[in-house]
C-alpha cells in the first residue's frame, strides 16, 4: 500500500502540471489572429486540445512523481533527469505565449524543435531512473511531434 503522503504528492504533481498548462492556455489561447490563419485540412478541431493536453500534463505529473521518489538510483542520474524535465517543461510553457501571444509561428517553431529534443532527452534520462516514467512520456513526445509538423505547416501556409 502506498502511504497517504505519497498519494498526496502524486496528486499534487499532477494538479500542478495540469494547472500550469491550463493557466497558460487560458492566458494565451487561440484568438482572432489564429482564427484567420490558413490551416491544413488535417488541423485538429479546437475542442480536442484541452483534453489531450490535460491527459498529457497528468501523465507528466505521474512520470515526474515516479522519478522524484526513486532515491536508490543515485543522485546524479536522478538530478540530471529532473533538470531535463524542468527544462523541457519550461520550453513547453514558453511555446504558447510565443505562438499565440506574440503571433510568431517562426519563433514558436524554433522553441518546439528544442522542446521535442528535450522531451526525448528527458525520456532517456527518466528511463535510467524509472522505466515506466519514461514510457509515460511517449504519448507526449508523439503529440509534440504532431504539433511540430502542424506548427511548421501553419508557418509555411501563412508566411
pLDDT digits (tens, 9 = 90+) for 62-84: 999 999 998 766 689 999 999 99
Could you tell me the pTM of the whole model?
0.94
Domain made up of 4-35+46-158: CATH architecture: Up-down Bundle (1.20)
Q: What's the grid cell of residue 1?
A: 500500500
pLDDT the model gives residue 5: 77
Domain ranges of the chain: 4-35+46-158
Mean pLDDT of the chain: 95
From the list 130, 118, 121, 120, the residue with the least C-alpha distance to 78 is 130
pLDDT digits (tens, 9 = 90+) for 91-140: 999 999 999 999 999 999 999 999 999 999 999 999 999 999 999 999 99
pLDDT the model gives residue 6: 87
Amino acid at each position: 500500500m502506498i502511504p497517504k503522503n505519497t498519494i498526496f504528492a502524486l496528486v499534487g504533481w499532477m494538479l500542478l502540471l495540469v494547472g500550469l498548462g491550463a493557466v497558460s492556455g487560458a492566458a494565451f489561447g487561440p484568438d482572432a489572429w489564429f482564427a484567420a490563419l490558413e490551416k491544413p485540412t488535417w488541423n485538429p478541431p479546437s475542442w480536442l486540445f484541452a483534453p489531450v493536453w490535460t491527459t498529457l500534463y497528468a501523465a507528466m505529473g505521474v512520470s515526474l512523481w515516479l522519478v522524484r521518489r526513486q532515491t536508490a538510483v543515485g543522485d546524479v542520474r536522478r538530478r540530471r533527469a529532473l533538470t531535463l524535465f524542468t527544462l523541457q517543461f519550461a520550453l513547453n510553457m514558453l511555446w504558447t505565449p510565443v505562438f499565440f501571444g506574440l503571433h510568431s509561428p517562426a519563433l514558436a517553431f524554433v522553441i518546439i524543435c528544442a522542446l521535442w529534443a528535450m522531451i526525448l532527452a528527458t525520456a532517456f534520462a527518466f528511463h535510467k531512473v524509472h522505466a515506466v516514467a519514461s514510457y509515460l512520456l511517449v504519448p507526449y513526445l508523439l503529440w509534440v511531434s504532431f504539433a511540430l509538423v502542424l506548427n511548421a505547416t501553419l508557418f509555411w501556409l501563412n508566411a
